[in-house]
Amino acid sequence: MSVLTKHWGLEIDKNKPGDYETDQEGDLNLQLTMCSLAGDAKKGEAYVVSIQADDAPKYTLCILRPGVCDAVQLDVLLGVGDEKVTFSVTGGSQKVHITGYEVLEENPDDDVYDEDEDDDDDDAMGDDDDDDD
């Protein structure tokens, strides 16, 4: 199996949420790794960054505070099961960057494994040629 990665990034602000549509084939996942303030944010502001998958409830991903917490390391994996993920931010006047990478897993032997499983199913059902004796 080979794994390919590609940098991914999104810029959001309180007036412009951002979306990510996941791959429903199951080969592409999004790994979120960082959320940070972009630009000169004013001290005292609080940026609440949220994530919402499909029609599920909205959850807080992190809270950024200029001069206190300008960036947060993330470890969030998004993949099959969620058709669209929306990122939003409330509070603050500057933009927020969410970054990570897309992971594409390629397995050229998928068909070989499927054939082996079919053979095992035949054996379990008693389709042996030795029964003719």
Q: What pLDDT, on the 0 to 100 scale, is given for residue 112?
A: 44
What is d(CA 61, CA 116) in angstroms, rounded to the nearest whole number?
43
Average pLDDT value for residue range 40-66:
93
3-state secondary structure (DSSP) of residue 123:
helix
Average pLDDT score, the chain: 82
Prediction pTM value? 0.75
Tens of pLDDT, residues 75-114: 998 876 767 899 999 999 899 999 999 988 766 555 444 5
Q: For 66-78, how does the pLDDT look when each residue is reduced to its tens digit (9 = 90+)?
A: 999 999 999 998 8
**Within a 10 A sphere around the Cβ of 85, how many other Cβ atoms?**
19
Alpha-carbon distance of 91 to 67, in angstroms, equals: 16
> Greater confidence, 71 or 22?
71
The 3 state secondary structure assigned to 46-74 is CEEEEEEECCCCCEEEEEEECCCECEEEE
